[in-house]
Structure 1
Amino acid sequence: MTTPADLTILLQEGEGVTLEYKERVNDSFARELVAFANTAGGRILLGVQDDGTVRGIPDTNDLRARIQDIARKCDPPVKVLLERLGEVTVVTVRESAEKPVQCSDGFFWRLGAVSQKLSRNEIRDLFQQEGAIRFDHSICTRFSYPEDFDIDKFRNWLGKSSIYRGGAVEDILVNIEAAERSGGKLLFRNAGVLFFAKEPRRFFNQAYITCLLFKGTVKVHILDRKDFDGGIIADIEDALRFIERNTRTAYRIEKLQREDIPEYPMAALREAITNAVMHRDWFIEGANVFVEIFSDRIEVSSPGGLPKGMLVSDLGHKSVRRNPLIADLLHRIAYIEKAGTGIKRMRDGATTLGYPAPEFRSDSFFSAIFSPMPTSEKDDGSGETSMHPASTPQVPRKYPASTPQVVAILQAALYENRSRDELQNVSKLKDREYFRKNYLKPLLEDGLLEPMIPDKPRSPKQRYRTTAAGRALIKAAEEEER
């Protein structure tokens, strides 16, 4: 209830986000109603000029009926309360629980002291923020079943889940909410397309992960880049393999047992990449998830920042799921645990193994930043250094990163002697010095490759071949794949 004292204060305040002065009910009155309803509610003082001067307005039944009629014609109707204070009629507008609200002139919201018309993107954002629509639950009308459906991706997902495999494919798709039946057809939701489409990017151009390897600590020189767009599960796995082949691995020997020590906490990085895909704002079409490797850190970033109502300080204590259906499909195959545990799992996955805790940053992107295992460096006599965990006294040899690329290099030199350039082409790395330092040199040091002209290592005629140890590594990798 507004009192005379309140009115005096309101007249002194001036117009703002929750207050509007109007001399009379005119053509723009409906816009003011929906603007307040779409924002945080507010009050309209009828009979007051823009400068706060009270001119007054007659309190008639026709006026009250007209205001109520305008409010009812909004879609959905706007709730208003009418009060009379002296010569002023106070119209209190409730914030709508069914946003967005529109009038015949369109959608409006309150921006400062002005009621502003919403653009298409602002309307979409308002729908999304209020939970009126969710990207992952929306139907993808361009997807055609079964033509665009990848049965192998579905079977792979099903094999990772605990769902009974004897059911009909269509029944399972409906039960997990990846699709719904309508008019005798199977209509796929966007989440179902992201998981099970043959070509997800044909429907959503933002459905991919970009992985980048930079030289040094800034985004200037790119040593390696890959875009992965095979679907949510494949993209997560491919991004992890990219990290594995572009970071180092040390080892330590304890009680005659060898233990590999990755440069970064891989389980925590898996969690970060999964969370980036799951929580990203899929309505943003011009951006995608990034995994960026620098010499001193790895950054995993997803577009959209934190969901509405979340602060960086809330991380680990509060959970808001922007894409609940995507989260559910990941949870069913144990890629995530219960909601709200992702940040804790990232932190624990790093710190319990001796890695620094990840840092988190949020602006238009949400980023998780990982630091490498603290290491000591030992000069091997060549002017280069080898990584090994600082917590261990042993000095391990440098071990080649990237099993897939290492195997490809060794296979290339298995039956035919190869030049350095030929081996670099097989590795698909563009930077010659990076290839030499991180692949060719370690392979030679570990005895997996051998030079054909050992007494002239820099000869332009130098060729390399795979050793017995290299052949054993290839065999072990093949057995592991089986």
Structure 2
Amino acid sequence: MNITNIDDIRKLASGDEGGRTEYKLITGQLERGMETLCAFLNGEGGTVLFGVADNGKITGQEVSDKTKREIAEAIRLFEPFATITVSYANIPDTDKQVIALYAEEQRYMRPFTYKGRAYQRIESVTSVMPQDKYNHLLMQRGGKYSWEAIPNPDLQISDLDENVIIGAVRAGINCGRLPETTIREEIPAILEKFDLLHDGKLNNAAAVLFGRNLYDYPQCLLRMARFRGTSKEEFIDNQRQQGNIYALLDAAMSFFFKHLSLSGKIEGLYREEKLSIPYKALRECCINAFCHRAYHRPGGSVGIAIYDDRVEIESSGAFPPDMTLEKLLGGHSSEPPNLIIANVLYKSELLESWGRGISLMIDECRRAGIPDPEFHTDGSSVWVVFRYEMETAGQASDKHPTSTRQAPDKYPTSIVRLIELIGEHTCSLKEMMGMMELKDRENFLGNYLNPSMEAGLVEPLYPDQPKHPKQKYRLTEQGKALLERGE
């Protein structure tokens, strides 16, 4: 904004000093004026006027070359480089001018400092910015200052799960987002390509994506609960799991299949699943929660709460500062707060790159005939609510028939799902995980295969040699009987 007209000055000086305007009588108060300008840069922008009294009276001042040099030198003391517009408005019938310093909003460059200090503006008061707010803005700036990009000298490649890394690479190659030669590269080279390793040091994003030992990352946590009824008064199931994004995503989907009604049709080795809430909508919501959450808060987490009438998925963080709910639900570009994490998830085909996640969730819910998901935020967390028709015991809705069919009422849906997928086939571990779209081996073994074998429903071909190179699994007679009763 270039202010050269005295009428523009009168308009600016006609109101009270507030969050976006400051009056200074002369440039003898240049230091205080620049501190306020720094506060404007750290907010929504604003204007400092020199030659205007506190009461808004326009007095002006004489402007020399020395005055202009002092202003230019002061502007150079902002870090990072700030775009400041300097205007001089002549006062009619005098040799005096009003100097206007205008700072436009520069949200993605914050925080700014003047002479090494950051300032903030609250109403008409300029003050030194608290350290915690400065750190928060610094992480929001992204690049080398973002939490995900900060190196962790104690994190070693041995702390990462190589199988998950290779799985991500294979997925990226299969979808054409990574060149086929990537699979032949060493793990350090792959991590460098993923922007997770620099100068021999792994960053925080590496732990979030592929970490196996996450003792230093309490925020890599998933909370899961199934409540009886529509309130939090009584638990049916309550779990907590810590791990990397891929492991937590598998755990989340397992929890949904355990507690939501399921129906579907098997064709060959593959099955089209129909949960009370569409599988793709829940998966997309979880991926977004893990990708876009605020990881710099150690106490943060992702939470899943299942009630009789709804599912709520919550994560720490907030929508982008300029993202309204209307813009969120309409067409919008993707602005991930965690660029490194988002890039790896995109290359491994988990994440869409064009902001289509929300529209996908809405489309899936409409296709299933349930209400659109609801999106909420309170500035520190985001939660999505999926509503579905309540089902009473033994009386499933026509829209959402239960898959347990209650012949095997003692078996969780996750086990029944595995039984139905195996059917008449004999499958390897890799084949079963592929059919279920699961990537985390430990999660599959702990929540699906091992419980099915312990229940006597699934058996290995080589029971005395669990690690036999040709090991495969099939249904026992009990498992086949269960499958027949459910059809």
TM-score by length of 2: 0.72
Structure 1 letter corresponding to 2:98: T
Q: Which among 35, 39, 44 is matched to residue 39 of structure 2?
A: 35
Aligned to 2:440: none
**Cα distance change on mapping 1:96 and 1:193 into 2, 3 Å:** same
Residue among 300, 310, 317 paired with 2:331: 317
Q: How does 1:54-453 map to 2 (within 5 A)?
A: 54=58, 56-76=60-80, 78=82, 79-86=84-91, 87-95=96-104, 98-104=109-115, 106-131=117-142, 135=146, 137-162=148-173, 163-164=180-181, 165-180=183-198, 182=199, 186-200=200-214, 202-249=215-262, 261-314=274-327, 315-318=329-332, 319-364=334-379, 365-372=381-388, 374=389, 384-390=393-399, 397=406, 400=409, 402-403=412-413
Aligned-pair CA distance for 1:128:
4.1
Number of the residue aligned with 1:454:
none
Following the alignment from structure 2 to structure 1, what is the Cα–Cα distance between the partners of residues 78 and 339? 31
- Render the CA deviation track for 1:139-197: whole Å, top value 9, x for unaligned: 322343334233233233334331442222211221222222x2xxx222322221222
Instruction: Using the TM superposition, give the Cα deviation of residue 297 of structure 1 relative to its aligned residue in structure 2, in angstroms.
Output: 0.5
Paired residue secondary structure (1:13): coil
Conservation of the 8 A alpha-carbon contact between 2:80 and 2:112: yes
CA distance in 2, matches of 1:367, 1:292: 11
For 2:300, give the aligned amino acid. Answer: A
What is the alpha-carbon distance in structure 2 between the residues aligned to residue 403 and residue 385 of structure 1?
A: 15
In structure 1, the partner of 2:421 is none
Alpha carbons of structure 1 residues 171 and 112: separation in structure 2 relative to 1, 3 Å: same
Superposed CA offset, 1:304-351 (max 9, x none): 121222222223511322223222222223223342121122123333
Report the count of equivalent residues: 401
**Matched residues in 2 for 1:277 and 1:101: separation?**
29
| Aligned residue type for 1:90 | I
> What whole-Å deviation, never above 9, does each CA across 1:383-415 have from its counterpart, x for those lacking one?
x533242488x996565462457799xxxxxxx
Q: CA deviation at 1:211?
A: 0.7
Max Rg structure: 1
* Contact 1:407/1:474 (<8 A) preserved: no
Alpha-carbon spacing, 1:77–1:395, altered in 2? closer, same or farther (3 Å):
closer
Residues 114-147 of structure 1 show CA distances to partners (whole Å, capped at 9, x for unaligned) of: 2232222322333344445564651322343334
Decide whether aligned partners of structure 1 residues 30 and 132 sit closer, same or farther in structure 2, where only a CA change above 3 A counts: farther
Q: Call closer, same or farther: CA 1:145–1:195 in 2, change over 3 Å.
A: same
One-letter identity of the residue aligned with 1:73 = L
Distance 2:240 2:65 in 1: 66
Q: CA deviation at 1:289?
A: 1.0
Distance 1:284 1:316 in 2: 29
Contact 1:80 1:93 in 2 (8 A): yes
Deviates more, 1:310-319 or 1:297-306: 310-319
2:293/2:317 contact within 8 Å kept = yes
Q: 1:75, 1:251 → 2: CA distance?
A: 59
Give the counterpart letter for 1:366 in structure 2. Answer: V
Q: Which residue of 2 aligns with 1:444?
A: none
Cα offsets for 1:417-454 (capped at 9, x unmatched): xxxxxxxxxxxxxxxxxxxxxxxxxxxxxxx9xxxxxx
Residue identity matched to 1:326: I
- Identify the match of residue 19 of structure 1 among 12, 21, 32: 21
Q: Which amino acid aligns with 2:398?
A: P
Counterpart code for 2:331: H
After superposition, the C-alpha distances for 1:211-263 in whole angstroms (9 at most, x for unaligned) are 1111211222222211121211010010111121122335799xxxx997533
- Between the aligned partners of 2:395 and 2:375, the Cα distance in structure 1 is 29
Instruction: Name which structure has the greater RCO, CA cutoff 8 Å, separation 6+.
Output: 2
Distance across 2 between alignment mates of 1:296 and 1:233: 28
Range moving further from structure 2, 281-290 or 59-68: 59-68
For structure 1, which runs of at least 5 residues remain unmatched after alignment?
378-383, 409-447, 449-467, 477-482
Partner SS state of residue 118, structure 2: strand
3-state SS, counterpart of residue 383 of structure 2: strand
Shift of the 72–356 alpha-carbon distance from structure 1 to 2, 3 Å rule, reads closer
